[in-house]
Structure 1
């Protein structure tokens, strides 16, 4: 079972799910369309060593983002700093899955002296296939996407044609249909993508920080992941003596109880 805790940030309310009873603090960042509660299934492997604080990122779960601007790096840094100060957390480990990997890397880069370890699981922000990377889209492309929120008819017709012609992969077709079938979901996707486009990570600089502070880096990627190719893990680990890589026989979404075996091994390294 996880406790739910709220943090007030400016006009917004940020929800955290806290589980585990370990002596070390861990801050976890989930993927798109998930919540911090997605990680509770990992308590068997994480809970003895860590007390995990798993955030509901803005536009997800119980967090209510009421600011006039999209969630940005400065907001993330301020929220983490506030969480640590209010709860007496002097050092933390970071755990980021997919989209959440960007957040974990940003905090590692910003507060390296307070980071014990960095876990990146199928992490966005290192090297993502172009079709999934909104950061490379031109401004008119984002405007077009915004218009789809309230008028999606033509877009769905286009997507179905692309799927029938086998131009669009089955995975991307399912993702699109599952996450854009209501106006609320389309708004969440738009807000999240625009927000995450501003979370570009300077990987060269981050790796220098990891080397300088000898931060253990633990990478877990899926062998069949078509969003974040597993080769990315080896690219990230190159030149980092503190890095450990595990490629598992999964696709992109692998946060479930089957992951506990791999994490049990990694927490002992």
Structure 2
């Protein structure tokens, strides 16, 4: 494993690298995680690949000092820092700058937004239980409207009422116990709530159009692999199945014997296979 810091404007982007192969894969982690969660893939089967696993703003060792929004242009520029680094290393072999994209959960949403912005350089897309396959009214309301942002800000600074509200939703079966645990794990402590607010606000613009992504995947004939856990109660596996089906002959859907967390040692073989099958 290697670790880099890429300077960007006033910020510093942390990136973990696994593998030394010529095939470049840019990876994005899930919410509250960091790039080194992809370390479970660091094994012999990874030899053809170089995985560049970026810590998103307000995650891991990335230091974000460029405002309260990480925009599409920022994402493209960070992508360019990574691809330029890889191209310099493999200049002798004439690397063409094309790469694969892989994203888990929140990172799947980011990967799709990057693909939507510049599909021509992506030769494969691997989505692991991705967020962003369907739109969320509440995410849009809380992060993109004045009223919603005020309520969100208040909730993260005075969480007692919010936790009571979530428990009431569970009692009325409007939210399942898995989602309740997933949310409460991130809002029980003041520092965690502060991070939730900044992460949601900063990444709010990186929302793909699923229909546009599917259209461009078909247009550019990009092999697309969608993996979900059979027991995922955070994001419905059926959304991944229908997405892969919409990509037609280039899409494939795989269901693994786990829940929402796919980055587990027992799943490493299936994930690496998705990079090159």
Give the TM-score taking structure 2 as reference length: 0.87
Q: Cα distance, 1:44 vs. partner? A: 2.5
Match of 2:122 among 102, 115, 124: 115
Unaligned runs of 5+ in 2: 88-94
Q: Cα distance, 1:192 vs. partner? A: 2.0
Match of 2:194 among 187, 206, 230: 187
Alignment partner, residue 245 of structure 1: 253
- What root-mean-square deviation, in Å, do the aligned CA atoms of Structure 1 and Structure 2 show? 2.2
Alignment partner, residue 26 of structure 1: 25
Alignment partner, residue 73 of structure 1: 72
Give the secondary-structure state (helix, strand or coil) at the position aligned to 2:41.
helix
Q: Does 1:104 align with 2:107?
A: no
Alignment partner, residue 232 of structure 1: 239
Give the secondary-structure state (helix, strand or coil) at the position aligned to 2:248.
coil
Match of 2:177 among 170, 193, 202: 170
> What is the distance in 2 between the residues matched to 1:45 and 1:215?
26
> What is the distance in 2 between the residues matched to 1:166 and 1:200?
28
| 2:25–2:50 Cα contact (<8 Å) kept | yes
Show CA shifts across 1:136-178 (max 9, x none).
5454233112112332233234334544665542112212221
Q: Does 1:43 align with 2:50?
A: no
Q: Cα distance, 1:195 vs. partner? A: 3.3
Alignment partner, residue 153 of structure 2: 146
Number of positions where the alignment pairs a residue of Structure 1 with one of Structure 2: 266
| 1:135–1:198 Cα contact (<8 Å) kept | no
| 2:179–2:234 Cα contact (<8 Å) kept | no
> What is the distance in 2 between the residues matched to 1:45 and 1:233?
29
| 2:26–2:100 Cα contact (<8 Å) kept | yes
Q: Cα distance, 1:240 vs. partner? A: 2.5
| 2:57–2:202 Cα contact (<8 Å) kept | no
Q: Cα distance, 1:186 vs. partner? A: 0.8
Match of 2:166 among 155, 159, 164: 159
| 2:106–2:131 Cα contact (<8 Å) kept | yes
> 1:6–1:147: structure 2 CA closer, same or farther, 3 Å change rule?
same
| 2:29–2:103 Cα contact (<8 Å) kept | yes
> 1:265–1:8: structure 2 CA closer, same or farther, 3 Å change rule?
closer
Report runs of 4+ in structure 1 exceeding 6 Å deviation.
Answer: none
Q: Cα distance, 1:56 vs. partner? A: 0.4
Give the secondary-structure state (helix, strand or coil) at the position aligned to 2:269.
helix
Q: Cα distance, 1:248 vs. partner? A: 1.6
Q: Cα distance, 1:209 vs. partner? A: 1.6
Greater Cα shift, 28-37 or 145-154: 145-154
> 1:168–1:207: structure 2 CA closer, same or farther, 3 Å change rule?
closer
